[in-house]
Amino acid sequence: MIKAGIVGATGYAGAELARLLTQHPQAELAAASSVSFTGKKLSDVYPAYRQLCDIVCTTQAEVVEKSDVVFAALPHGLSQELAADCFSKGKALIDLGADFRLKNEADYEKWYGGTFFYPELHKQAVYGLPELFREQIRGKKIVANPGCFTTAVPLALAPAVLNDLIEPAGIVADCKSGVTGAGRSLTQNTHFAELNEGFSAYKVANHRHNPEMEQTLRLLSGQNVTITFVPHLLPVSRGILATCYARLKSGVTPGQIRAAYEKQYAEEFFIRLLPQGKTADIKNVRLSNFCDISLHLDLHSSMLIAVSAIDNMGKGAAGQAVQNMNLLFGFDEKTGLTALPPAF
């Protein structure tokens, strides 16, 4: 058994981590911290956890001390000092925030308004999208866990990009997110009265995840991938639906597209490539670590339309973080993550 700790345990991603780790057969939730609820049981904040996860929220320092692996479920800008502390003490850190996701410091300054406090730690960090960077993740001590859009979009497009089947410029990612993606702190557009019976785009062509998606696909292809990204807020709690449009290269056939995806994801347990004619739906991945992908071709306009669906708190956050933990510690990647999604 390894000992796991959560810093920021009372946010949505932190609470989902606690739910998953409590059920993990090879990990023990040893400590959890919360600035807002120090001294309170996690089950006092989330009553659904009563008698199942009654751990008392303590300090960040105690989490590091008691843990072999620390999950940082924090807003951007707060994980670098924690990473330095963990690294100096030989503890693994899996950061669910954005502090280690971007490789270029200038990009981090532009999109997050921060700097790299410890450049050497950023060189040590690896991007934790297992289906694309599995071998780089093994044996690392700092993992930058991707977020929801930055998981759904690259997984939808990676086989097409890797096999040079689509034009790298002019890709459109039209995405929809459940409201938990906005975090637990309330904002005007997440009030029930504002959100219910509404559907709107936000941060159009100005979202921080845009350069991260491009970075991932650029690393895979070696080409200058450009994406127009438009996120929308759904009046549901959980889920990401990414509808990605890309122009096919001349002469590419439907058979080539299908074959590339089948080959790329044939051994990936958490990627479910749907049969032709089916369409990915967030309902079918709810409360899971699965990513469903459906492929559609508009031959009239020579466009690939790849649709992916994930649970933004699962494969888009906590589930993927546990998958990364499994990789770091040599467990079967699926451990603790194989519960069936609810059917309704």
Distance, in Å, from the CA atom of 130 to the CA atom of 174, rounded to the nearest integer, reads 23
Q: Does the pLDDT of residue 186 top 80, yes or no?
A: no
pLDDT surpassing 90 at residue 191: no
pLDDT band at 172 (very low <50, low <70, confident <90, very high): very high
- Looking at domain 149-311, its CATH architecture is 2-Layer Sandwich (3.30)
Pick the catalytic residue from 57, 86, 148, 244.
Answer: 148
d(CA 246, CA 302): 9
Q: Give the residue among 7, 42, 19 at the shortest CA–CA distance from 289.
A: 19
CA-nearest of 231, 216, 221 to 260 is 221
What pLDDT does residue 181 have? 85
Q: What's the rounded Cα separation, in Å, for the pair 193 and 174?
A: 25
Reply yes or no on whether the pLDDT at 329 is more than 80. Answer: yes
- Strand pairing category for 69-72 and 2-7: parallel
Q: Which two tokens stand for residue 168?
A: 């790298």
Q: Write a three-state SS string for 132-185.
A: HHHHHHCCCCEEECCCCHHHHHHHHHHHHHHCCCECCCCEEEEEEECHHHHCCC
Supply the pLDDT for residue 271: 98
More confident residue, 206 or 284: 284
pLDDT at 203 over 90: no
Q: Is the pLDDT of residue 189 over 80?
A: no
Mean pLDDT of all residues belonging to the chain: 96
What are the backbone angles phi and psi of residue 54, rounded to the nearest 5°?
-100, 20
CA–CA dist 236, 31 (Å, integer): 31
Q: Which two three-digit tokens encode residue 188?
A: 């005007």
Q: What is the pTM of this model?
A: 0.96
Characterize the bridge pairing of strands 92-95 and 303-310: unpaired
Domain ranges of the chain: 2-145+315-328, 149-311
More confident call, 127 vs 76: 127
How much is the pLDDT for 116? 96
Please, which pLDDT band fits residue 205 given cuts at 50, 70 and 90? Answer: confident
Q: What is the pLDDT of residue 226?
A: 96
Report helix, strand or coil for 189: helix
Architecture per CATH, 2-145+315-328: 3-Layer(aba) Sandwich (3.40)
The phi-psi region of residue 118 (left if phi > 0; otherwise alpha if psi is between -120 and 50; otherwise beta) is: beta
Statement: residue 31 has pLDDT above 80? yes
Nearest C-alpha neighbor of 66 from the set 56, 81, 80: 56
Whether residue 175 lies in the annotated active site: no
